[in-house]
Amino acid sequence: MELLSTNVSFDGEHRRYRHTSATLECTMEFAVYLPPVAVGPDPQRVPALWWLSGLTCTDKNFMEKAGAHKKAAELGIAIICPDTSPRGVNLPGEDDSYDFGSGAGFYVNATEQPWAPHYRMYDYVVKELPQLLENELPLTDKRSISGHSMGGHGALICALHNPGRYASVSAFAPVAHPTECPWGQKAFKGYLGDDTAKWEEWDATLLIPKATERLPLLIDQGTEDQFLETQLNPDALVEACKQHDHPINLRMQKGYDHSYFFIASFIDDHLNHHSRALGQS
């Protein structure tokens, strides 16, 4: 891990790192916020909230815009922000559109060429990066996970696929039923191929019936989100949860859109939700 920069923030530290990922076969950058108790001469190990960002984002969007550091410092929780895709692997078409390729890894393990050797963001955020950071930084093995839009989809599938790995899960405006929306269909066809049966294991709504752990879902969704009707489909997820007695709290927030103003307005609620599950409050 190469330390790129560090900033003091609410008496903790915001750090940016670079490393070479064996899973993605490229160099990746990511950010970590360590609360005050985890820095200094006698750092304590703390649990971590993993934040998965949305289309076109990097680690910088959440760390600079969400206003999460103050509450994380108070609660004693680290925040980890991976990137949203491999970078600079020079695949044909990787930079042609905002919703596929660079910045749009969709947190799946690609099986189609030329994407399969690199676009394995699921394994990266669930396996490789946690193992690295829990070995190198003052982190416990207690984790929660959250995210926004494409990253909300990622948070949900990571939690649903890995019972016991995360203490809690939440999402802001997640792509809740990607097999039935243009963003998801484009990404899944490109990364996973034409067999739609293979897409189902990456769709939170379709994973609910098979879930072996009923981890409560906290979801915030803005009523004025420009993608609500065409891409996000939270009602399908709610219906699946109702049918299978999976606890879900979908909060429709009047007047809010898809932006980081929305995330910043409710991030403290989510941090408190995760803190309780992690035993920090």
| 45 exposure class (CB count in 10 Å sphere: 0-12, 13-18, 19+) | middle
CB 280 within 8 A of CB 168: no
Enumerate the active-site residues: 149, 225, 258
Contacts of residues 16-25 at CB distance under 8 Å and 24 or more positions apart, as own/partner, are 16/59, 19/132, 21/86, 21/124, 21/128, 21/129, 22/128, 23/120, 23/123, 23/124, 23/127, 23/128, 24/86, 24/89, 24/118, 24/119, 24/120, 24/121, 24/124, 25/86, 25/89, 25/117, 25/118
In single-letter form, the type of residue at position 167 comes to A
Q: State the Cα angle at 175 between 171 and 177, rounded to 5°.
A: 120
Residues in contact with 15: Cβ distance below 8 Å, sequence separation at least 6, in sequence order: 3, 5, 6, 31, 32, 33, 34
Helix or strand or coil: residue 68? coil
Neighbours of 111 (CB within 10 A): 14
Helix (H/G/I), strand (E/B), else coil: 1:
coil
Handedness of CA 10, 256, 270, 213 (dihedral sign): negative
